[in-house]
Structures are given as C-alpha cells and as structure tokens.
C-alpha cells in the first residue's frame, strides 16, 4: 500500500446557517488549520440524500430521462433520479423515483454504490441503483406539477461509449453507466478480471 504524507486537519471555530429552505441549506464556517491559518468556508447541503437509477429493459436499452436543468440553462440527458423522502430507504426511494419519472417498475434492484458529486462544497450523496426486469405501469409517469420529463430508451452499449467519449454532463449518469457496465461484465475490473455478469 502506498504511504502518503500526513495532511493536517481543519478545526471548525464557528458555524452558521446563511440560508435554508426545503431544498438546500447554505452554511458558513470559520475553520482553522495548524499550518495554513484561518479561513471562511461555505458548504451547500441538501436536507436529504439523492438516488439515481440505471434502468435496463429486457432489450438492453437504458431508460434515460431528458429534461431542462435550470442551473445549466439547457436540456440534458440524465438518469431517473430524485431526493429521498425523510427516513426513506435508498432502495425504496430509487424504485419510487423510477416509477414516478419513467412509468416503469423494476422487479430486480441492485445497489451499484454511491457518489459525492462535488465534495469540495456540496454535502449530499447520490445512491445509485441498477434496475432490471422492468415492467410498464398502467398509470404511466407520476410527475410533480412542475416537472416535464421525457423518457428516452437508448442502447446501453451506445450510451456507455458516449459516456467514455464525454458526451454527457450529468455525473450520476456517468458514474451509474460505468458501474453498471462493470457489474454486467461489459467492462473489465481494474484487477483485470471480468465483472460478474450474473
């Protein structure tokens, strides 16, 4: 195992909430390092973690969602995703978001892992799941009144190639597709062994 030089720990001297609503909390902290001194640090955090779903059909298509993302001022492709409800199990939340955003349910859900999209200033985890054995729900999508989400089935291997080429900006989509490809045995594991295809 590689040895790394020690990194000093920052100590929190004070912390205050600058802004808070149902969606986000902005925190200002004064922190101090034994060698580097004091500084103000700003953290954005969500009151709840998020979930994202790599949903694969029996035809090996991935169900992408296409929607307007206001911070980017454009429409992008991403995964069915959303925030967990209070005290909601991530697997249950992932299935709920899949059903609400796509109108499909899954009879097989597997945890792929979780990611921290921007740990330098954002405190929220996204739990990512692989959904298989999909079935369309008779009632279809159940979107919130302010949501407009298109469901776009695309060949999984094509989307994987496009992820590697850098064609998608959504971090959960990138992470989820790569982790799913490894789980499905499409990508070799870093140790050279093939992934578990079962």
Exposed e or buried b per residue across 92-116, where buried means at least 16 C-beta atoms within 10 angstroms of its C-beta:
ebbbbbbbbbbbbbbeebeebebbe
Cα-based distances in Å from 126 to 72, 77, 114, 118: 19, 17, 5, 11
d(CA 69, CA 120): 22
User: Could you tell me how far CA 158 lies from the centroid of its own chain?
Assistant: 20
Q: What is the pLDDT of residue 188?
A: 75
Q: What is the pLDDT of residue 95?
A: 98
Start-end of CATH 3.90.79.10 domains in the chain:
50-183
Mean pLDDT per 10-residue section of the chain, whose length is 198 residues: 86 97 95 94 94 98 97 97 95 98 98 94 96 97 92 98 97 98 86 47
- DSSP secondary structure string, the chain? -------PPEEEEEEEEEEE-SS-EEEEEEEEETTTEEEEEEEEE-SS-EEEEEEB-TTSEEEEEEEEEGGGTEEEEE-SEEEPPTT--HHHHHHHHHHHHHSEEEEEEEEEEEE-S-TTTEE--EEEEEEEEEEE-TT-----TT---EEEEEEHHHHHHHHHTT----HHHHHHHHHHHHHTTSSB-TTSPBP---
- CATH code for the structural domain at 50-183: 3.90.79.10
Which pTM does this prediction carry? Answer: 0.89
Q: Is residue 170 a contact partner of residue 61, using CB atoms and an 8 Å limit? A: no
Q: What is the pLDDT of residue 197?
A: 39
Q: What is the pLDDT of residue 187?
A: 84
């Amino acid at each position: 195992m590689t040895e790394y030089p020690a990194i000093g720990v920052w100590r929190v001297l004070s912390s205050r909430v600058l802004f808070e609503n149902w969606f986000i909390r902005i925190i200002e902290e004064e922190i101090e390092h034994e060698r580097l001194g004091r500084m103000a640090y700003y953290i954005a955090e969500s009151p709840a973690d998020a979930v994202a779903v790599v949903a694969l059909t029996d035809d090996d298509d991935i169900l992408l969602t296409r929607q307007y993302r206001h911070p980017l001022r454009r429409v992008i492709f991403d995964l069915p995703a959303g925030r967990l409800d209070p005290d909601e199990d991530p697997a249950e939340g992932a299935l709920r978001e899949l059903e609400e955003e796509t109108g499909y349910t899954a009879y097989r859900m597997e945890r792929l892992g979780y990611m921290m999209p921007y740990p330098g200033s954002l405190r929220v985890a996204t739990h990512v799941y692989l959904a298989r054995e999909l079935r369309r729900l008779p009632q279809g999508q159940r979107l919130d009144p302010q949501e407009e989400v298109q469901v776009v089935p695309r060949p999984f291997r094509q989307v994987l190639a496009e992820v590697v080429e850098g064609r998608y900006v959504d971090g959960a989509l990138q992470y989820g597709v790569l982790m799913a490809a490894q789980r499905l045995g499409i990508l070799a594991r870093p140790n050279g062994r093939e992934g578990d295809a079962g």
